[in-house]
Amino acid sequence: MAQFAVNVVDAMDRDSMITKFEYDANLTDGWDTTSSNLQVVYGIEHQELSFSEVLFIRTEHQSMDVMATEYDESATDAHYHSFVELRNAAPWSVNIDDGCWRIRRLKVADKTPLAIATFKDTQKQYIPAGNNYLIGCQDGSNRYGSGNARPSEFRFDADSDNRFESIVPNKYEATPPDAGTAETSRIPLCDLDLTYSYASSLTMEGPLTTTNSILNATNANSETNILLVLERRLRPDPNGGTSNAMDDTQNPWVEVDRVEGTVRSFDSTVGKLDDLKSQERSGPFDSGIDLTYSTLTPMDYVGTNSGTQGRHTLPYYTRETSTGTGQQRNSREPATYNLWQPHFDREFSSVMELLSIPLYGYYPSNNSGTLLWQGAVHGGTVRNVAEPGGTHVMSGHRTAMIRMLYPQAVGDTNYPLPSWFPSALTGDAAHYQNRWYRLLEFVTVKSQDELSSDRITAVQRRTPGKVNLNTIRHETVFAGLIDDPYHINPIANTPLTRDVQESTNRLWYKEHKISRDGLDPFLASFTVNLPNITIPGGFNARPFRPLSYLEQPIVSGTNSSNLSVQNTILRMRNTTTGHGLYEARTSADVGNDVVDYHTRNRILAKIANNSTTRSHVFFAWVGLDFFEAHTNNNGNVQLGAKADPADLPSYRMFCVIDMSRLEEAYDPVNGTFDFEKFILYRQLLP
């Protein structure tokens, strides 16, 4: 709940600073603020930079030098190149000249750090919105005759023209270097070259500070997979308002993404460039193919580049034919993204937007082992959005929706878990059996209509009314409450609330009535014209209860309280498992989740804003009896026996009271109420 709370804060604030929340997990012994007792969670902010594509190359050691490369393969160990492409997933530019971003390489087996590169690019200064940024690194063994390191491009003479074409990156070069010009200093083709630009653009930390390389013979000879972590400062502004803004304690590093790639082996004697296949994401929130909940492994390149160009899109989809002609996209990238982060940096428009709040968050970089990034198991920004696997959909598997809408146990026959429910979670069902949805009853969001009517309300002392879901008796009223042209078209359709998207399967008002009033069991036994009759207050009625409602167990030992949510507006349809009664998607989408978890709740949010389960009108059965009384010596009134009915008979009355008319009944001059003005109907009973 602490993580959920801090995620709510960062969802509303308008800055990009990650909120740090320290809390005492055990309040039974009081509020203990000692650092050893406090636990820390970090709120999820809008994802700015993320990994887009990686390619790790090991050029194997040979017994003799191969003239198709710039370096000597016969010298000592293998040669290594690393290419990491970052993507700006934000709709604004992200600064990279302030030293607030770094990449760490971790050992796959035990997650111990091998190298850290904190970069500060004072040349490009920022990454534009939606653009990619290519970082290259070689192991330091590829050097000019003078001893200085060459740029980190991976070059190979693929067409035997005695020129070393750049295979990675695939940028345009009018005249690639040949054996004669290979010793001439040249400008790196990568946006940031960790080896060539080491002194001015970054600092290297960790056990391998002297190697100037994330990947080299010392740390990669026995490795088949490479794990990288992207981190940013908690507060990206280096000034930050304090003198120690860059201090690791006051402004710690927080992990925002990770990627694991495979080392590609290259035999320069064969020159099979097809083997140099990158691994890439189809978009900023592509969670990869790994289903073990331990890493984020991208999928292999699937483009059509020829082997002489390399099987990758670093940084362009195809090789430039002239400077500036490249298209920044991956081979798996769709025409439009279907994964996005519902993070708006604004006030909520409905309490139902809380369903989209992620459950998990970032963890500090100074943790070790399995705590290095709890998101590696549960969430983080990428996994909070989409489940890993071949098909990436926004099912809401790591959002508050999973806890608020599906508290039932595995194997529940009345309301079984939906088919898309992550299999890794069903074994821990007790973790999800809860009543988080009751929180929604204690928070509120004013609609725009309410905000605009505040001035009028202050004068008239009236609260704008809401539609009572339990008293809607006309389809036109319900159609106005939904007011969603994508799903209903009252002008063209009959009935008014027939779903445009699945006209034969969904009648919104009819389902609302059946869910609320139930089908009459006696009339349902008739087969002609009477099977769908609903009677309010009947045997099978299930009126809408407040979100705080908690049902008592029906049978001893049966915890039906977990299913109390089915008595609220969060209830499921009777016709489709896992399909909310007011979800804005078709039954065919359940399990496919083409409609993302945020968009599908838009009608639910509208209904929550404009409806209620309470009424201003009450039925009252009033009884009046008279008793003897006397005042004792202390002035206290003591009641005695009931008065003789022959003298003072008892009275009983039935009343219909409208509390919305209290203002009309009040006389501010005399300070009195005329009760007859707020009693709509009254009848003396025998």
Q: Is residue 241 very low, low, confident or very high in pLDDT (cuts 50, 70, 90)?
A: very low
- Name the amino acid, one letter, at 670: N
pLDDT tens for 307-342 read 667 789 999 988 888 988 888 889 988 888 888 999
Residue 560 backbone dihedrals phi, psi, to 5 degrees: -75, -10
Q: What is the DSSP letter of 7?
A: H
Q: Is pLDDT larger for residue 64 or for residue 184?
A: 64
Mean pLDDT of 51-76: 89
CA angle 11, 13, 18 (to 5 degrees): 75
The residue ranges of DSSP E strands in 10-131, in sequence order, are 20-24, 38-42, 49-59, 79-88, 94-95, 101-106, 113-119, 126-127
Q: Is pLDDT larger for residue 91 or for residue 533?
A: 91
Query: pLDDT at residue 534 above 90?
Result: no
CB neighbours of 426 closer than 8 A, spacing ≥ 6?
A: 410, 417
Query: pLDDT at residue 404 above 50?
Result: yes
- CB burial of residue 383 (10 Å; 0-12, 13-18, 19+): buried
Per-residue model confidence (pLDDT) at position 413:
67
Q: In angstroms, rounded to a whole number, what is the distance separating the alpha carbons of residues 156 and 267? A: 11
Per-residue model confidence (pLDDT) at position 166:
92
Mean pLDDT of 570-590: 89
DSSP conformation letters of 225-291: EEEEEEEEESS--SSTTSTTTT-TTTS-EEEEEEEEEEEEEE-TTTT-GGG-B-EE-SSTT---S--
Query: pLDDT at residue 51 above 50?
Result: yes
Per-residue model confidence (pLDDT) at position 422:
57
Whether the Cβ atoms of residue 194 and residue 156 lie closer than 8 Å to each other: no
Mean pLDDT of 363-385: 55
Q: In angstroms, rounded to a whole number, what is the distance separating the alpha carbons of residues 97 and 110? A: 32
pLDDT tens for 491-512 read 888 889 999 998 677 999 999 9
- First-residue to last-residue Cα distance in the chain: 55
Query: pLDDT at residue 525 above 90?
Result: no
Q: In angstroms, rounded to a whole number, what is the distance separating the alpha carbons of residues 156 and 6? A: 51
Query: Residue 117's beta-bridge partner residues?
Result: 103, 204
Q: In angstroms, rounded to a whole number, what is the distance separating the alpha carbons of residues 177 and 494? A: 73
H helices, E strands: number in the chain: 12, 26
Per-residue model confidence (pLDDT) at position 206:
42
Residue listed under structure tokens 């004697």: 269
Query: pLDDT at residue 531 above 90?
Result: no
Q: Is pLDDT larger for residue 644 or for residue 556?
A: 644
Query: pLDDT at residue 445 above 90?
Result: no
> Residue 657: in which H helix or E strand, if any?
strand 651-658
Per-residue model confidence (pLDDT) at position 118:
84
Q: Is residue 419 very low, low, confident or very high in pLDDT (cuts 50, 70, 90)?
A: low
Neighbours of 421 (CB within 10 A): 19
Per-residue model confidence (pLDDT) at position 557:
46
pLDDT tens for 156-175 read 998 888 899 999 999 988 88
Query: pLDDT at residue 671 above 90?
Result: no
Closest CA to 618 of 653, 660, 657, 652: 657
> In which region does residue 317 sit, left (phi positive, over 0), alpha (psi from -120 to 50) or beta (all else)?
alpha
Per-residue model confidence (pLDDT) at position 389:
66
CA angle 678, 681, 684 (to 5 degrees): 120
DSSP conformation letters of 403-415: HHH--PPTT-SSS
Mean pLDDT of 618-644: 91
Query: pLDDT at residue 71 above 60?
Result: yes
Query: pLDDT at residue 431 above 50?
Result: no
Residue listed under structure tokens 């207050």: 537
CB neighbours of 89 closer than 8 A, spacing ≥ 6?
A: 47, 48, 49, 50, 130, 284, 285, 341
Q: Is pLDDT larger for residue 573 or for residue 451?
A: 573
Residues shown for the chain: 686
Best-predicted range by mean pLDDT among 206-210, 302-306, 499-503, 574-578?
499-503
**How many Å is the Cα radius of gyration of the chain?**
34
Residue 128 backbone dihedrals phi, psi, to 5 degrees: -60, 160
Helix then strand then coil, in percent of the chain rounded to 5, is 20, 25, 60
Mean pLDDT of 641-654: 92
Average pLDDT of the residues of the chain: 82
Q: What is the DSSP letter of 572?
A: B
Query: pLDDT at residue 294 above 60?
Result: no
Helix (H, G, I), strand (E, B) or coil at 360: coil
Residue listed under structure tokens 């009543």: 435
Per-residue model confidence (pLDDT) at position 326:
87
Query: pLDDT at residue 211 above 50?
Result: no
Closest CA to 177 of 125, 205, 213, 142: 142
Q: Is residue 47 very low, low, confident or very high in pLDDT (cuts 50, 70, 90)?
A: very high
Closest CA to 225 of 56, 61, 374: 56
Mean pLDDT of 441-463: 67
Q: What is the DSSP letter of 357?
A: S
- CB burial of residue 570 (10 Å; 0-12, 13-18, 19+): buried
H-assigned helices in 105-210 = 198-201
